Structure 1
C-alpha cells in the first residue's frame, strides 16, 4: 500500500473522525507574510484600461488575467490575455467537463496500473491502488478537490479508452469553444512544453464548464467523504483547496468555488467563480504568486465595486428578416418574411452609472445552411462588447422555452 499522507492543516476539521485527509502536492505556494517585492508584471496596466470611460483596473502580480461576467460575456479586466502560458492543474476543468458530458456519475472506475502509477512521484494524489474501484462521482471529487493526478488518467481512460484519445478529445472540445491558442498534452496539467493555454481560452473553458450543472457540484463542494473501498479500509476525506471559499484562509464573500493549480514552470494558476447580487463573475489568473488568491480578490473587488448588470428592457416585438428563395425551399416555408423573437431579458454589464441608451447596437443573422436562423444583437461601449441578446424564429421558440430554464 502506498504511503498515505495526512494534511496537518486540516486535521482539526476531523479530529473526532477516523480517516484519511490528503494534502494536494500542487497546492499553490502561499507565504506566511506578504512578499515585499512585487512581480515583474505588477506595474503593467490592464489592456482594458484603454477603453474610454472604463474604470482603471487593479495592479496584480499575475502575468496574465481575465475577469468576465458569466452571463453577459463582458470582459471587465484583461491583461496579456492571449499570451500562451502553462495552466498547471486548472487543466482539470476541461477534464472534469468532458467527464460530466460523457459519463454516468453512478458508473464505476477500476484503476488501471497505468493510471495508478502513471504520474510523477510527489505530485497530487489520493494514492489510489491498481484495481481499486471508485464511482465516477468519487473520481471527479478527487480530481477537483484534491487535484488527484492519477484520477485524471483514470477518467481519461473511462471516457475515451486511452489517455491519448482523451487528449485528442480535449483539444477538439477546446476548438469547439473557440480556444485558438490552447494545446493540451495530458489531462492533469503536469508540466509539458506542448501543454499550454491563455487566460482568454481558459475563460471560455471555465464558462462552458460552469454552465454544466454536474460540473458545478465538483467545484463548489467544500468537503467530500469516500467510504472504504475494496482496497482501502479507511474513509477518505477530500478537502477543497480553493482558499477563498467560506471558512478558509482567504475567504471572500460570494466565492462559489473554482480550481487551483501550481507547478514550478506555471507558477500559481487559479480559476474562481463568484456571485453577488445579480452578477456572476469568473476570474482566471495565470503565473502568479501567493496562490493567486490576493490577485483574484483584487479582481473581484474591482468587478463588484465598479460595474453593474443592467436590463436593456428590449422591445419584445419581433424583428423581421427576409428569406432568400432557396432558404424558403429548404425551410419548407411559404413566407418571404420571418419574425425573430427574444425569449429572455437582455442584460449588459457596464461601469456603474453608464447611460445604456448611448450604447452602440449591432445585429447579425447567424449563418445556418439548413434549419432555423438566429439574430444576435451585441451592445458596445467605446468598441468594447458589454452584452448581447439572441432572437429566435417562432418555429423553434416553443422548443427552446420547453427545454431551457432561465
Structure 2
C-alpha cells in the first residue's frame, strides 16, 4: 500500500514536466546611432530575450515581399510538430500554384514533391510556386491558408501585419512591419530544420531525375558573414530590398530586419553592421538549460498535488560585455495555485531585475489540466508527501 502511494505521488510530480515557459517581450532600445541609415525601417533584436537593441520606424506598415514566406514556413513546421502532416507527405501541384511568377522552382501542374523538398525550395530559393503548393496542401485553398496566416499573426502579437497571399507577391492590403517580422523570426527559430535549410548556400532538388534543379540561396550573407544561417530575403519594386536575417555566435543569437533598402549590397552591408554592433557589445548568459527545473509548486486541492516546472528551451539573459550576470536578480510572482487549472492558464511569472528595473519577464503557463481532487485522493496525497516526497521535488520559490 505504501509503495502504491509513493508511485501515485511521484506521478503527480512528473506531470509538471509538461508545463512550459513563454518569454515575455522586453522593449528597450540600446543603440544611439543609426545602424541602418538607408533602410526605411529596421529592428535589431536579441532572439533569446526579445530585447530590441536598435530600431528605426519599427512599427511602420510596409510591403514585406518574400519575407512573407516565413509565416508560410512557420505554419508548415507547426503542422508537422502537431502531427497533422509529415515531411514525407507528397504535395500535388495545382494549376494555380504552378502559375506563380517571380522566383520559382518551375513546378508543373500535377507534379508531386514531398513537403520536405517543397520547404527546401521555399527556404533556399524563395520559390513562389512551392509556397502556394504548400499553402493549398495545408489549408485546402490558398485563401483559407491566408486566413490561418493572419490568425497566427494575431496570436504572435503582430499588430501591424496583414497577409493577402502565401508568397509575398504584390497585393493590395498586404503589409507587415520590421518589429512584427522580428517576432515572427523568433518564433520560427524554434524549428532547427528551417535554419538548416536557410543556412545552406546551394543545393539541388529532383536529384537523379531528368529535371534536376539547382538551388542558390538568395541570402548571400549565409556565405560571407560568420554565424549567419538565415532567414529570408525579399524584393519587389514596391517593397524594395528587404531582409530578415539571423546569426549566432558563442550562444548569442540575433535577429536583424531591414525593409525598403535601395539595393542588395546596401541591405547586406547594413545588416552585417547591425550584427557587428551587437556581437561587439553583448554576450548571452544562460539562466536555465533545456530540461532544468525552474520551480516546484503545490496545487491546492488538485488531483495531482505537486508540479515540477521545467524549461522547455534554454532561458537566457542578455548581458553587456564586462557586466557580471550576478547583478541580475530573479523575482517570482505566483497566482493562486488552486485546482481546477485549465491548459493555457497563467500560473505566475518570473521577472529578471537589474538595479530594481525589470529587464525581462517570463510567464509560466500550464499546458495540462489539473482537476479538483476528491477526499480520498487528498488523504492519499497527504500521506504520500509526508513519507515519500524527495527533497528535490519539494516546493521551491
Q: Is the shorter-chain TM-score for this pair beyond 0.5, marking a shared fold?
A: yes
**1:266 equivalent in alignment to 2:235:** no
Query: What per-residue deviation string (whole Å, max 9, x for no partner) do you get for residues 128-166 of structure 1?
Result: 221222222221122122211111111111111100000
**1:350 equivalent in alignment to 2:324:** no
CA contact (8 A) 1:349 1:387 kept: no
CA contact (8 A) 1:72 1:386 kept: no
Query: What per-residue deviation string (whole Å, max 9, x for no partner) do you get for residues 82-125 of structure 1?
Result: 111111001001111112222321111221111111x34xx112
Query: What per-residue deviation string (whole Å, max 9, x for no partner) do you get for residues 194-219 of structure 1?
Result: 11111111111111111113323321
Distance across 2 between alignment mates of 1:111 and 1:78: 40
Alignment of 1:76-91 (within 5 A): 76-91=53-68
Q: CA RMSD in A?
A: 3.4
CA contact (8 A) 1:342 1:390 kept: no
Query: What per-residue deviation string (whole Å, max 9, x for no partner) do you get for residues 340-363 of structure 1?
Result: 756487531132223555557654
Which residue of structure 1 aligns with residue 8 of structure 2? none
Q: TM-score, normalised by structure 1?
A: 0.71
Alignment of 1:2-401 (within 5 A): 56=33, 58-102=35-79, 103-117=85-99, 119-120=100-101, 123-227=102-206, 233-246=210-223, 251-291=224-264, 292-311=267-286, 328-329=300-301, 331-332=302-303, 343=311, 346-356=315-325, 359=328, 363-365=332-334, 370=342, 373-379=346-352, 386-389=359-362
Distance of aligned partners of 1:199 and 1:257 in 2 relative to their CA distance in 1, 3 Å threshold: same
Offset at residue 57 of structure 1 (A): 5.4
Query: What per-residue deviation string (whole Å, max 9, x for no partner) do you get for residues 309-343 of structure 1?
Result: 234599x99868797xxxx45x3467xxx787564
Distance across 2 between alignment mates of 1:264 and 1:86: 10
CA contact (8 A) 1:340 1:374 kept: no
CA contact (8 A) 1:48 1:79 kept: no
Which 5+ residue runs of structure 1 have no aligned equivalent? 1-46, 397-406
SS, match of residue 86 in structure 1: coil
Distance of aligned partners of 1:342 and 1:264 in 2 relative to their CA distance in 1, 3 Å threshold: same
SS, match of residue 73 in structure 1: coil
SS, match of residue 241 in structure 2: strand
Distance of aligned partners of 1:312 and 1:124 in 2 relative to their CA distance in 1, 3 Å threshold: closer
Distance across 2 between alignment mates of 1:183 and 1:382: 39
Distance across 1 between alignment mates of 2:62 and 2:357: 25
Q: Please, which moves more after superposition, 262-271 or 205-214?
A: 205-214
Distance of aligned partners of 1:81 and 1:363 in 2 relative to their CA distance in 1, 3 Å threshold: farther
CA contact (8 A) 2:195 2:229 kept: no
Q: Which has the higher contact order (CA 8 A, sep 6+)?
A: 2
What count of residue pairs does the alignment treat as equivalent?
328
Which 5+ residue runs of structure 2 have no aligned equivalent? 1-26, 80-84, 370-397
CA contact (8 A) 1:259 1:272 kept: yes
